[in-house]
Amino acid sequence: MLREVQIENGMVRGLPAADPRITSFKGIPFAAPPTGQNRWRAPQPMEDWDGVLDAFQYGPISMQATPGINKDNIYDFEWHVDPNVPMSEDCLYLNVWTPATKADQKLPVFVWYFGGGLQVGYPSEMEFDGERIARRGVVVVTINYRLNAFGFLCHPEITKEAPGAPANFGHLDQQFATRWVQRNIAAFGGDPDNITIGGQSAGGGSVLSQLTSPQNEGLCQKAIIQSGMFAPVYPNNRTPPWGFSLEDAERAGVEFFEYLGVSSLAEARRLDAEFIRLKALEYGRFWGTVIDHQFCVADPFSLYLENRRLMVPVMMGHTSSEFFSQPNVQSKEELKELATEMFSEDAPEYLELIALENSSLEEAISKAAVNTIEFAIRLAGEGNAPLYYYNFDAEIPGEDNPGTFHSVDLWFFFETLAKCWRPFVGKHYDLARHMCNYWANFIKTGDPNGLDATGEEMARWYPYTKDEPFGMLFQDKAEFCREKPSKLMEFMLKQFSR
């Protein structure tokens, strides 16, 4: 087993995972600490170290709201359970799980970006244990990156200082870490020419941002976007925190500096990180992806639709009950006006599809609801590279009766159900095993199909195409679903494709 490896900055020592055939390396620094003069700056190279670095525990989480204290938040009792988890501005660390026994094995590599709205989250969340995927012959890397005001603030002085990297420091951390993997993963038995980047929620949105950045030629060979590709459907619905203009972001940065009581970048860099963290939480702004015309040149979703992206195989999907968009209206007359505004002469067809005349307003609005992620995926279509689409609709146990809430699928494809408090039973473990198999196969070859641990062929998963716009349905078991989109979905796709 590879317990010690030589990487570009020095020797690193890992530990046996629960399965001793896997070695875990936790808390490897991939960039210099983003503190002092490196605050609000693109990541900088890490200095070499002497001796052997013991990579035995996770690095600190990024500056963010204290996890585990808001019991009204499902994630604070699902996995953000430890309010004492170490937190620091010095946070640019990654973790590796490898099944390799020697360095020249050239195993496929999976690089994971966590989610959390670009405001919270961390790779040491218990559902992100990479061991089960690694047991399938994959080198797994989970990376940390800067969040909220620390990762996405802009300011005119920052732009003047670094016009080539004025924004999106959290995304640049992801990019920098992935380039680190390309340079160093061979030491862990990984293949630098067979890298899959993946993420969920804002992590999935980050994958989309990386795929559409003109800076990232050759960054990866495959991509997985889980619950991270959103399309605008109805107006005045909440949208994800990305796509701000640089000018607007700079103005927001000037206002935030005034709130901090400073008037220059130099003063702001001298402030204590904990002070900034608390003031940012008090300020209450969502900080997100900025169209800076360097890393991000336009809305990533629009770029994807135009095929202005890395042309690599993509797996993407969603849970069945997340991110529904519906008309924001107060009367049937307002709904009719909205339909005319959105669909012109096709408005009567839309109103018939939602049965406005024979339903109450509430019923019509409910029928008009569209899953914005499913809509985005179907609107994106097959593109110029294979696309594998899924819908996660499993029964989720628990006294809270949560349904397939946003992020619950993470327990399954990482196959970490045993760490969860929920009373999962055999069917859930079988489904998780199959999902982890599909993901690992895709990471290896760009095709999710293959054998189960039993030696039996798993349900065949065919690529999504315009002629066959179907996908894999994960319920009590994995089952390829040949049901066409709903009539409303087909109508919306036709309208938005014009």
pLDDT digits (tens, 9 = 90+) for 281-321: 999 999 999 999 999 999 999 999 999 999 999 999 999 99
Average pLDDT of the residues in 168-178: 98
Task: List Cβ neighbours of 99 (8 Å cut-off, separation of 6 or more).
Answer: 21, 22, 107, 134, 135, 137, 138, 139, 189
Average pLDDT over residues 130-156: 98
In a domain, 497, yes or no: no
Q: What is the pLDDT of residues 353-392, one digit of tens each?
A: 999 999 999 999 999 999 998 999 888 887 789 999 999 9
State the pLDDT at residue 484.
Answer: 77
- Strand ranges for 204-321 from DSSP E: 222-226, 242-245, 289-291, 314-319
Q: Which residues contact 333 (CB under 8 A, 6 or more apart)?
A: none
Instruction: Report the percent of the chain where pLDDT is more than 70.
Output: 99
Query: 239 pLDDT band (50/70/90 cuts)?
Result: low
β-strands 52-54, 107-113 pairing: unpaired
**Which residues face 377 on adjacent strands?**
none
pLDDT exceeds 70 at position 188: yes
- Both tokens assigned to 239: 């949208």
Is the pLDDT at 241 greater than 60? The verdict is: no
Q: Tell me the average pLDDT across 190-214.
A: 98
Question: Which of 207, 204, 201 has the alpha carbon at shortest distance from 220?
Answer: 207
Q: For residue 242, what pLDDT is reported? A: 64
pLDDT (0 to 100) of residue 240:
65
User: Looking at residue 231, what is its pLDDT?
Assistant: 87
Same domain, 179 and 100: yes
Domain presence at residue 164: yes
Q: How many domains does the chain have?
A: 2
Residue 217 lies in a domain: yes
**Strand runs labelled E in 201-320:** 222-226, 242-245, 289-291, 314-319
**For 135-147, what is the mean pLDDT?**
98
- The verdict on 318 and 338 lying in the same domain is no
Residues 336 and 472 in one domain: no
- Determine if the pTM surpasses 0.85: yes
Q: 352, 292, 353, 288: which is closest to 117 by C-alpha? A: 288
What pLDDT was estimated at residue 284?
A: 95
Maximum Cα interatomic distance, the chain, rounded to a whole number of Å: 75
Is 491 a domain residue? no
Q: What is the predicted pLDDT for the residue at 108? A: 98
**Distances in Å between the alpha carbon of 376 and those of 198, 370, 379, 489?**
17, 10, 5, 11
Reported confidence tier of residue 469, pLDDT bands at 50, 70, 90: confident
Position 467 confidence tier, pLDDT thresholds 50, 70, 90: confident
Query: Residue 78 falls within a domain, yes or no?
Result: yes
Mean pLDDT of 201-206: 96
Q: Are 358 and 455 in a shared domain?
A: no
Are 67 and 193 in the same domain? Answer: yes
- Output the six-digit token pair for 25: 């390396």
Residues 408 and 463 placed together within one structural domain of the fold:
yes
E-strand ranges in 297-436 read 314-319, 324-325, 370-371, 387-392
Q: Are residues 165 and 55 in the same domain?
A: yes
Is residue 486 in a domain?
no
Q: Provide φ and ψ at 380, rounded to 5°.
A: -65, -35
- Assess contact for 356 and 332: CB atoms under 8 A: yes
Domain region containing 432: 4-324+374-481
pLDDT beyond 80 at 237:
no
338 and 302 fall within a common domain: no
pLDDT tens string 406-420: 999 999 999 999 999
Verify that 342 and 403 share a domain, yes or no: no
DSSP state of 112: E
| Mean per-residue pLDDT over the chain, rounded | 95
The pLDDT value recorded for residue 182 is 98
Report if residue 488 sits inside a domain. no
- Give 83's pLDDT tier (boundaries 50, 70, 90): very high
Encode 395-434: b = buried (16+ Cβ within 10 Å), e = exposed: ebeeeeeeebebbbbbbbbbbbbeebebebeeebeebbbb
CATH of the domain at 90: 3.40.50.1820
Residue 87: the pLDDT is 98
Confidence of residue 176 (pLDDT cuts 50, 70, 90): very high
Which pLDDT belongs to residue 70? Answer: 87
Query: Are residues 97 and 235 located together in one domain of the fold?
Result: yes
Sign of CA dihedral 452, 457, 462, 463: positive
pLDDT, tens only, 398-450: 999 999 999 999 999 999 999 999 999 999 999 999 999 999 999 999 999 99
Q: Indicate whether 313 and 390 sit together in one domain.
A: yes
Whether 494 is covered by a domain: the verdict is no
Identify whether residues 141 and 63 lie together within a single domain. Answer: yes
